[in-house]
Amino acid sequence: MPKEVVDHDDPTTPAERLEVKDSVQRKLFMLSGNECAWPDCRQVLVPEEGGWFGQIAHIRAAERNGPRFDKAMTNNQRRGFDNLVLLCGKHHRLIDDPERQHQYSREDLEKIKIRHETRFARALDDLSRDEEQYLDGTTANTVVHCSTLLGLYGDFLDEEQRLGEIERFNRIADHLATATLAARQLLCSVVKANSRIGVAEAARRNGGTKRQVYDLVDELRRLHLAEIDPTPWDELGPDDARERIQTTDGARNNPVFEGIPFWNMHEMGAPVDYDAVIVQLDFSVLD
């Protein structure tokens, strides 16, 4: 039996304390102005002489029975930026103190957080610019073009057709490189499932949540690569998944694919390493 994937975006998943992401920690610190968020507390979080006095406090607790625990939240929301505030040790202990926590409501703490962080809004602008550059870096994909396509076509094509196909395939390679790695991994699962796969099954194979899969499908749809199957529910067969992802076919005048199927290369006879082609963008495996 496959191990069941725990969905931390599902509010019915039991509460579990998850580590705060690095990007969220950075954002919290950038917005703190290096000071405890408590009104009029001037405790510096990272003094010049070294050390670290900041503590990440949960506005609504990470675990059941914790202060201000809210069972309607998901685990990912509990560790999200909006639910966290950077305090000094003294004020963190104060708001979580079993005797006194009831004096500090969720609303009070959110107000304290927002008032403090707004003062450092300019720092946030700078940070989001950094984050964008970081994202650009992770989507910089290296493409290896094909040069003969003999592995795929053998001597089936005449020279002119073959050169035309090489050009087309390399255009497709460059187009695939505009998708993120995660989106290409999803696309590859769809192709390997004969161009149609249920959303839940895709989430299971890619180790993500359904919501993440929907976001990736949205990216693939904008790039004319895949979409949610628009067939109405009552026209689906009894065994079909209700929410399915399908590759876009050539019939939609896609300028990149030029109307000729690309996803069923394996039907031409030779086995195709779709992971190499779609995920690693190495089109030379088709030579």
Stretches 44-52, 83-91, 174-182, 268-276: which one binds Zn ion (CB under 5 A)? 83-91
Binding piece for Zn ion, criterion CB under 5 A, among 21-29, 81-89, 186-194, 203-211: 81-89
- Minimum distance, C-beta of residue 42 to Zn ion, in the bound complex (Å): 8
Cβ of residue 25: shortest distance to Zn ion, in angstroms?
A: 18
Q: What is the C-alpha separation between 67 and 83, in angstroms, rounded?
A: 13
Q: Which of 15, 29, 38, 220 binds Zn ion (CB under 5 A)?
A: 38
Residue 184 binds to Zn ion (criterion: CB under 5 A): no
Q: Which of 15, 20, 30, 36 binds Zn ion (CB under 5 A)?
A: 36
Q: Closer to Zn ion at the Cβ: 77 or 101?
A: 101
Q: Is 245 in the site for Zn ion (CB under 5 A)?
A: no
Among 61, 88, 173, 217, binds Zn ion (CB under 5 A): 88
Site residues for Zn ion, window 60-79 (CB under 5 A)?
none
Residue among 25, 34, 43, 280 that touches Zn ion (CB under 5 A): 43
Going by their DSSP bridges, the two strands 84-88 and 54-58 should be labelled as antiparallel
Nearer to Zn ion, 94 or 285 (CB): 94
Q: Which is nearest to 215 in space by CA: 226, 201, 229, 231?
A: 226
Q: Give the interface with Zn ion as residue ranges (CB under 5 A).
A: 36, 38, 41, 43, 88, 91
